[in-house]
Amino acid sequence: MKNMGTKHVFTAGLWGAVCAVAVALIPGVRAAEVSEEDFKALKEEVRKLTEKMDRMEKVHETDEQIKQKDQEQIKQLQDKLGETQTTATEAARKADAATQVQPPIYRVPDDSGSVNKNFMILGDAEVQYAKFPGGHGTFLFADFAPIFLYRAGDRILFEAGFDATLQNGSNPNNGHDSGQTSSFDLSFAQLNYVINDYVTLAAGNMLLPLGTYAQRSAGGWVNKIPDDPLPRDLLPGTGIGAQLLGAIPFGQSGQILNYSVYGVNGPSSSDGTAAPDQLDLGGNVGLHTDNTVGNLHGRPSGGGRLGWFFPFGPPHFDLELGGSIMSGEWDDAGKHLWTGGAVDASVHLGPYLEVKGEYIRTKYGSTVGNINPSGWWIQGAYKLAGLRLQLPGINNLETVGRYDKINDHIGNDSERETVGLIYYFSNTLLLEGAYEFQHGTSQGDVMLLQLGYGF
């Protein structure tokens, strides 16, 4: 009976729940029943919402487009920024490179045609003003001395030097100076062939290595005084022949031992005899005046020089010593020898001070016995830039002094002191002034001014 009661309660409860649910649903069912006005309002609301949504979608699309454009612009700006940074970096790198010392780049010769063959003209020209005793001061075109150089390859060099001078002509009627005449002389012409690192062959009308003056100091602009030292007249400056020369370095400081040996036609006699005053140091070039060929005397002369160059310390501190000798027949009969020699020395004590000189001695047999001419000269020069004075123009000045003496034992025994000043307009254009105090000659003191240019 109890079980039946429980069951009825349960069932009742279940039906009650169902009814409650139904009652809960009834308002919703009831709510579905809306009025037409409400429907229209709702419809209008939906329409408005739809329109609003459309507008919002359009705005969104526009925003998207703007955003895309902005992104593209940002990308472009980023690209430009990157380029700018690259340019700045490159500029900084170039600036750094420009401030650094670049190692020298070996230059290839600019003209392939002149690598193996090259022709050049060097030389110098001088104009002088001279005042000799007993005469009026005058300008004179002292010398135009071009040197032609022709190089063929690495081993062959041909060089020839000329001297063009101008002087007064002569009136044929009375012998008085009239008009002008010019002379053009071949001062030297030699062919040089480099056989190897230690031997070079030279042949032709060569500048002779008797001392070093003829080869290195006898040019107009390289000579610090407008004329040559007196005792240089005792030696031949050139000779026709052949020569072997070379140099051997030793040590690490730049020491050099150099040599030259040669054979030339040698001195001759102006009249063929052995009279002491007929010695001719500049002739005997092989081709006679009658177009015959031959040495005026029997045998050629031979000679040589040995030199030692010793740099001691920084550049421009160096010493050079050398000894030269030459000997051979001189008269046509070949009975008398002429022998000449020189000891040369040159020292540089820094870039400002230079002292050099030669002692020259010769000896030759003659009809009156042996003649022994001799002489010596010493020259010192000092660039005033070494004084480190803050004066305008002083760094372009160089003082020079020379003492020279000659005694040829046939009538010329003289000596001379020269003081001079050089002004360098540039390294190749210089004005030299010199005053020479002469002794032992009938000629008095001489004043020389020379404007010289080396090219």
Selected from 413, 421, 433, 447, the binder of other proteins by CB under 8 A is 413
Q: DSSP per residue over 157-171, as a string?
A: EEEEEEEEEEEEEE-
315 binds other proteins (CB under 8 A): yes
Selected from 160, 165, 233, 258, the binder of other proteins by CB under 8 A is 258
* Closer Cβ to other proteins, 323 or 440, answer by number: 440
444 binds other proteins (CB under 8 A): no
346 binds other proteins (CB under 8 A): yes
Compute the least distance from the CB of residue 136 to other proteins, in Å. Answer: 25
Please answer whether residues 313 and 263 qualify as being in contact, where contact means their C-beta atoms are separated by less than 8 angstroms. no
323 binds other proteins (CB under 8 A): no
In total, the chain counts a number of residues equal to 455
Which residues from 112-141 bind other proteins, rule CB under 8 A?
A: 114-115, 118-120, 122
* Closer Cβ to other proteins, 113 or 179, answer by number: 113
Q: Rounded CA gap, 227 and 434, in Å?
A: 9
Q: Which helix (H) or strand (E) holds 420?
A: strand 413-424
* Closer Cβ to other proteins, 130 or 160, answer by number: 160
Selected from 424, 431, 449, 453, the binder of other proteins by CB under 8 A is 424
Kindly indicate which of the ranges 16-24, 30-38, 74-82, 308-316 contains the residues binding other proteins, using the contact rule CB under 8 A: 308-316
* Closer Cβ to other proteins, 32 or 108, answer by number: 108
Q: DSSP per residue over 315-337, as a string?
A: TTEEEEEEEEEEEEE-STT--SE
308 binds other proteins (CB under 8 A): no
Query: Residue ranges of the alpha helices (H) in 135-256?
Result: 213-216
Compute the least distance from the CB of residue 81 to other proteins, in Å. Answer: 43
Kindly indicate which of the ranges 22-30, 63-71, 284-292, 410-418 contains the residues binding other proteins, using the contact rule CB under 8 A: 410-418
Please answer whether residues 330 and 338 qualify as being in contact, where contact means their C-beta atoms are separated by less than 8 angstroms. yes
Q: In a 10 Å sphere around its CB, with 0-12 CB exposed, 13-18 middle and 19+ buried, how is residue 291 labelled?
A: exposed
Selected from 12, 42, 248, 389, the binder of other proteins by CB under 8 A is 248
Residue type, 451: L
With CA atoms as reference, report the closest residue to 373 among 327, 422, 338: 338
List Cα–Cα distances, 383 to 119, 125, 140, 355, 364, in angstroms: 34, 23, 28, 12, 41
Positive or negative: CA dihedral 231, 237, 243, 248? positive
With CA atoms as reference, report the closest residue to 265 among 243, 283, 278, 277: 283
Selected from 127, 325, 343, 355, the binder of other proteins by CB under 8 A is 355
Torsion over CA of 110, 111, 112 and 116, rounded to 10 degrees? Answer: -100
Which residues from 137-196 bind other proteins, rule CB under 8 A?
A: 147, 149-151, 157, 159, 192, 194, 196
Q: Are strands 317-329 and 301-311 parallel, antiparallel or unpaired?
A: antiparallel
227 binds other proteins (CB under 8 A): no
Kindly indicate which of the ranges 22-30, 57-65, 240-248, 291-299 contains the residues binding other proteins, using the contact rule CB under 8 A: 240-248
Selected from 31, 101, 108, 391, the binder of other proteins by CB under 8 A is 108
203 binds other proteins (CB under 8 A): no
* Closer Cβ to other proteins, 36 or 110, answer by number: 110
* Closer Cβ to other proteins, 274 or 448, answer by number: 448
246 binds other proteins (CB under 8 A): yes
Please answer whether residues 449 and 432 qualify as being in contact, where contact means their C-beta atoms are separated by less than 8 angstroms. yes
Give the position of tokens 């919703």. Answer: 28
Compute the least distance from the CB of residue 378 to other proteins, in Å. Answer: 8
Q: Rounded CA gap, 359 and 235, in Å?
A: 11
Q: Rounded CA gap, 232 and 213, in Å?
A: 8
Please answer whether residues 176 and 165 qualify as being in contact, where contact means their C-beta atoms are separated by less than 8 angstroms. no
Compute the least distance from the CB of residue 166 to other proteins, in Å. Answer: 25
437 binds other proteins (CB under 8 A): yes
Compute the least distance from the CB of residue 221 to other proteins, in Å. Answer: 7
302 binds other proteins (CB under 8 A): no
* Closer Cβ to other proteins, 169 or 444, answer by number: 444
